[in-house]
Amino acid sequence: MQEKKPQHLTLNRFLVQRQLKHPEATGELTAVMDQIGKVGKIISNYMRRAALEGLTGLTGAVNVQGEKVKKLDEIGNSVFVEAFEYVDMVGAIVSEEMDRPLVISSANRKKKYVVLVDPIDGSSNLDVDCVVGSIFSIRNLKGSVEESILRKGTDQVAAGYLMYGTSTLLVYSAGDGVHIFVLDGQIGEFVLEHENIRMPERGKIVSSNFGNYRKWAQPAREFADSLASEREEYALRYSGALVADLHQILHLGGIYFYPEDAKRPEGKLRLLYECAPLAMIAEQAGGAATTGRARVMDIHPEKVHQRVPYAIGSRYEIRRYEEFYRK
Ligand code: F6P
């Protein structure tokens, strides 16, 4: 059951309301989330102008993941970095586009958070004007920057994504449900669309790159085969941007999976700034996320750019996926 949508509840008003419910809150998380909203507006603006202003295409550089960097990847990264350089309480930023965490030093000794981001998720969609997103995770700065980053997903303070599609959305959770905001271009604000959205317990969507089917690990192939033989039909949807596929599953239920395969035995997706933040969203909405063998939120990362096999979605489909890995 969705809660009734209030009128004109902007992101900032919503955050302040939530903050007032927690007397111990200091307003610092609200300030970080407010910057994420600003990032969303700026990147959304770039996306809308990209084709007109020659911002599509490659920069010529290759990132730490060995992927060719696109102009908009680089722009997205600078927009995030710039945003947190203005927020005193963020001590470091980790990004898909940066080899190492960027430590932000300032006179303020009360740095409280580290922010981890995938500035542009689904970048192969950029040059064809299809949907892309940004993913973020906010963690407490406890001990050194490295110690704060290499922690389980259950240690995230807040997480979420921005989606640049037919409209620009901001979806987040700070551990008390998942809330969706839509950017109202006329007033330049994110406005609440859904408070406490719940993912269906069982769904209709299957989202995966079936072009890799032959390379997939055996359990993933058997899972896919089992879906094809179901009496209940599933609909196949795969956009090339995890954020967009997950967003659909958030509404309709089902499963997205990117398993380990012959070429990538460790999987493709990055644990810290893709898989763990979206796992928090799924769990907070009543869904789940797994590697097939382990709950994603329980994985203790060993390195910043670690990859993991991944499946995320409704509880029923995730349970079934795990059954094939247990066999
Ligand atoms: O790197 C992340 C990502 O772009 C996801 O957003 C997306 O689901 C996946 O990779 C697409 O990968 P492929 O093109 O191999 O299917």
Band of residue 140 on the pLDDT scale cut at 50, 70, 90: very high
Determine which residue's CA is closest to atom 4 belonging to ligand 1: 122
Q: What is the CATH number of the domain that holds 84?
A: 3.30.540.10
Q: Which atom of ligand 1 is nearest to the CA of 122?
A: 4
Q: What is the average pLDDT across 262-286?
A: 97
Q: How confident is the model at residue 62 (pLDDT cuts 50, 70, 90)?
A: confident
30 CA → ligand 1 middle, Å: 31
Domain assignment present for residue 101? The answer is yes
Q: Is the pLDDT of residue 242 over 60?
A: yes
Does residue 145 sit in the same domain as residue 97? Answer: yes
Ligand 1 centroid vs 228 CA: distance in angstroms? 23
Helices 218-228/315-326 angle, 10° precision: 130
Residue nearest ligand 1's atom 12 by CA: 240
- Same domain, yes or no: 93 and 151: yes
Q: Is the pLDDT of residue 4 over 60?
A: no
Has residue 55 got a pLDDT over 80? yes
How many angstroms from the chain centroid is the CA of residue 153? 12
Same domain, 188 and 211: no
Could you tell me if residue 104 is inside a domain?
yes
How many domains are there within the chain?
2
CA atoms of 204 and 119, how far apart (whole Å): 29
Between CA 59 and CA 68, with CA 63 as vertex, the angle to 5 degrees is 50
At 107, is the pLDDT very low, low, confident or very high (cuts 50, 70, 90)?
A: low
Does 261 fall in a domain? yes
Per-residue model confidence as pLDDT tens digits over 21-33: 887 878 889 999 9
Q: How many A from CA of 253 to the centre of ligand 1?
A: 20
What pLDDT does residue 195 have? 96
- Is residue 3 pLDDT above 60, yes or no? no
- CATH code of the domain covering residue 230: 3.40.190.80
Residue 200 lies in a domain: no
User: Probe ligand 1: pick from 135, 242, 249, 271, max atoms within 8 Å of CB?
Assistant: 242
Residue 296 vs residues 165, 275, 292: alpha-carbon distances, Å: 27, 7, 9
Decide: helix, strand or coil at residue 115.
Answer: strand
Verify that 261 and 186 share a domain, yes or no.
no
* Among 43, 34, 139, CA closest to 87: 34
Domain end point (choices 194, 229, 244): 194
Q: Are residues 60 and 111 in the same domain?
A: yes
Pairing of strands 90-95, 102-103: antiparallel
Please give the distance, rounded to the nearest whole angstrom, from the Cα atom of residue 145 to the centre of ligand 1: 28
Q: Are residues 267 and 302 in the same domain?
A: yes
Give the residue whose CA is nearest to atom 8 of ligand 1.
242
Residues 229 and 186 in one domain: no
15 contacts 30 by C-beta, under 8 angstroms: yes
Which residues are paired to 27 by β-bridges? none
Instruction: Kindly tell me if the per-residue pLDDT of 280 is higher than 70.
Output: yes
Atom of ligand 1 at shortest range from CA of 123: 4
Report if residue 175 sits inside a domain: yes
pLDDT in the model for residue 210: 96
Q: Which domain holds residue 99?
A: 11-194
Does 83 have pLDDT greater than 90? yes
Is the CB–ligand 1 distance for residue 67 below 6 Å? no
Query: What is the arithmetic mean of pLDDT over 288-308?
Result: 97
209 in contact with ligand 1, CB cutoff 6 A: yes
* Whether the CB of 241 sits within 6 Å of ligand 1: yes
Is 199 within the bounds of a domain? no
Could you identify the atom of ligand 1 that is nearest to the CA of residue 245?
Answer: 8
Is residue 3 a part of any domain in this protein? no
Q: What is the DSSP letter of 107?
A: S
Answer yes or no: do 188 and 239 share one domain: no
Give yes or no: residues 172 and 228 share one domain: no
Q: Has residue 42 got a pLDDT over 60?
A: yes
pLDDT band at 88 (very low <50, low <70, confident <90, very high): confident
Given a cut of 70, is residue 231 above it in pLDDT?
no
To the nearest 10 degrees (0 to 180), the angle between helices 242-252 and 276-284 is 10
Alpha carbons 8 and 170: distance in angstroms, whole number: 15
Which of 145, 162, 194 is the C-terminal boundary of a domain? 194
Cβ–ligand 1 distance for 145 under 6 Å, the answer no
pLDDT of residue 2: 54
Q: Which of 45-54, 62-71, 200-209, 315-324 has the lowest mean pLDDT?
A: 62-71
Please tell me the distance from the alpha carbon of residue 118 to that of residue 114, in angstroms, as a whole number: 14
Which tens digits make up the pLDDT trace of 243-259? Answer: 999 999 999 999 999 99
- Asked whether the beta carbons of 171 and 250 are under 8 A apart, the reply is yes
Q: Are residues 319 and 233 in the same domain?
A: yes
Both tokens of 161, joined, read: 């994504």
Mean of per-residue pLDDT scores for the chain: 93
Residue 278 and residue 216 in one domain: yes
Last residue of a domain, one of 160, 194, 228: 194
Same domain for 159 and 217, yes or no, is no
Cβ of residue 297 lying under 6 Å from some atom of ligand 1: no
158 belongs to a structural domain: yes
Residue 117: the pLDDT is: 98
